[in-house]
Amino acid sequence: MSSLFPALTDGPADRPALCFGERSLTYGELASAAGAVAGGLTGARRVAVWATPALETAVAVTAALVAGVTVVPLNPKSGEKELGHILSDSAPDLLLTAPGEELPAPLGDLPRVDVDPAARGVLPDDRERDPEDPALIVYTSGTTGPPKGAVIPRRAIATTLDALADAWRWTGDDVLVHGLPLFHVHGLVLGTLGPLRRGGSVRHLGRFTPEGVARELNGGATVLFGVPTMYHRLAEALPDGPELVKALAGARLLVSGSAALPVHDHERIAAATGRRVIERYGMTETLMNTAVRADGEARPGTVGVPLPGVELRLVEEDGAPVTSYDGETVGEIQVRGPNLFTEYLNRPDATTAAFTADGWFRTGDMAVRDADGYVRIVGRKATDLIKSGGYKIGAGEIENALLEHPGVREAAVTGEPDADLGERIVAWVVPADPQAPPGLEELAGHVAGRLAPHKRPRVVHHLDALPRNDMGKIMKRALSRG
């Protein structure tokens, strides 16, 4: 296997690699700093990284991966109980962190290594590492029980990033800007390791703001990564932001991920800038599965086509493959390919349950597929598939329809038991004007006129805000009337 980051040794040493605010490193400086950190990891099998959005995090992860040491990224916002579980489950030998960080109690007994981006050392040669060696253990929360550690091999990182390079024509000339956290796959693997594998550079905003996006894109950045909440804020800022309009219009790629981008925001951004946001679809366990290609149609509401090397199918509830790709038939996504994780750490039962007998990973995501291969996610099997009146209905398309109503700022859709229908559709709405929220009859008629009568909400709840996690995903299990 070739090096994960060939530009660290083969590219121009003075080429910009990492920029976090006023602090930056060239490829030569990053190679030397990573070499210094790697020199302190001798004998370590696994290290935890206190994954703040800082230069030290990127240096620490790069150093460990080149040294062949598995990285466990830690979310600095995690509670002590969750941190305690992750540490006992993964048993790291060391903790890598920025100097001066005050750490919570569960980390107190773990030997600490302060990362110095100005240190100098010799970078190890990682070209002979086994592609199946574990690179990352990323903890992902399921619907029940403590988080599970998905073991991601070097092979999955390399093949995913190379497939995205093919799909997006991603090269060393690209400058990526984002404000994503570095303890998730999106911000760490795609947003940080991705540019480093290509020999390009990343500018991290620290904290996402429309002003920061405008500054960086107008200052030479070519690609923007974000989550739907970020693109919603950009759409809101566009009417009063000529510099932001110019920035988005001039970007080579605007990419959204981690959750579905509402069609309404797609259209607002396209109308203001002439540029379409493209989406991709992945998971912690699979890295990336599909993407809208740079030379493809940016079709709002879709996540594109399978990436090179990725097999994707939809299956019925009984496991039989969906045979009609008509854009209407809903099935669970299953994937197979070199992008997949190896196992859930210490959970052979969960690993076995996640795969079919012939090696397909059960994503739990529900989708429809068009005849030309484009995939449209309609929701999670556990929370977004509503069975009402004999129909299988995806919550996502109802949410998009609700967001087209001028009185709706945010919307989520769930199902709840109904003696007649099996489940009835429930809308959770943040009104644009809290003093005049749209009522059930108005919203039901709005949805029925756009989709079909059986997809209209039967209940509407008005909220001040929707509960969201760190990546902007709506936490639907928190939407309950008890």
Taking only the tens place, the pLDDT of each residue in 297-325 is 988 889 999 999 999 999 998 889 998 88
Instruction: Encode pLDDT of 325-346 as tens digits.
Output: 888 888 999 999 999 999 999 9
Q: How confident is the model at residue 70 (pLDDT cuts 50, 70, 90)?
A: very high
Q: Please tell me the distance from the alpha carbon of residue 176 to that of residue 192, in angstroms, as a whole number.
A: 9
For residue 155, being part of any structural domain is answered with yes
For residue 269, being part of any structural domain is answered with no
The predicted structure's pLDDT at residue 309? 97
* Domain boundary residue, one of 149, 169, 186: 186
For residue 342, being part of any structural domain is answered with no
The predicted structure's pLDDT at residue 143? 52
Mean pLDDT of 257-274: 90
Task: Report how many domains make up the chain.
Answer: 2
The CATH number of the domain holding residue 390 is 3.30.300.30
For residue 248, being part of any structural domain is answered with no
Q: How confident is the model at residue 482 (pLDDT cuts 50, 70, 90)?
A: very low
Q: Please tell me the distance from the alpha carbon of residue 140 to that of residue 36, in angstroms, as a whole number.
A: 31
Q: How confident is the model at residue 1 (pLDDT cuts 50, 70, 90)?
A: low
Cα–Cα distance list, 282 to 15, 250, 304 (Å): 30, 27, 12
Report whether 327 contacts 369 (CB < 8 A). Answer: yes
Q: Please tell me the distance from the alpha carbon of residue 416 to that of residue 398, in angstroms, as a whole number.
A: 15
Does position 100 have pLDDT exceeding 90, yes or no?
yes
The CATH number of the domain holding residue 109 is 3.40.50.12780
For residue 318, being part of any structural domain is answered with no
More confident residue, 257 or 141: 257
In one letter, which amino acid is 231? Y
Mean pLDDT of 385-392: 73
More confident residue, 78 or 30: 30
Does position 144 have pLDDT exceeding 80, yes or no?
no
For residue 191, being part of any structural domain is answered with no
* Domain boundary residue, one of 135, 170, 186: 186
For residue 45, being part of any structural domain is answered with yes
Cα–Cα distance list, 227 to 127, 260, 471 (Å): 33, 9, 7
For residue 1, being part of any structural domain is answered with no
- Say which residues have a Cβ less than 8 Å from residue 422's Cβ, sequence separation at least 6: 387, 388, 389, 390
* Chain mean pLDDT for the chain: 92
* Domain boundary residue, one of 140, 162, 186: 186
Q: How confident is the model at residue 448 (pLDDT cuts 50, 70, 90)?
A: confident
Nearest by Cα to 202 from 214, 190, 215, 211: 190
The predicted structure's pLDDT at residue 93? 97
Q: How confident is the model at residue 471 (pLDDT cuts 50, 70, 90)?
A: low
pTM of the model: 0.86
The predicted structure's pLDDT at residue 453? 83
Domain membership of residue 87 as a residue range: 7-186
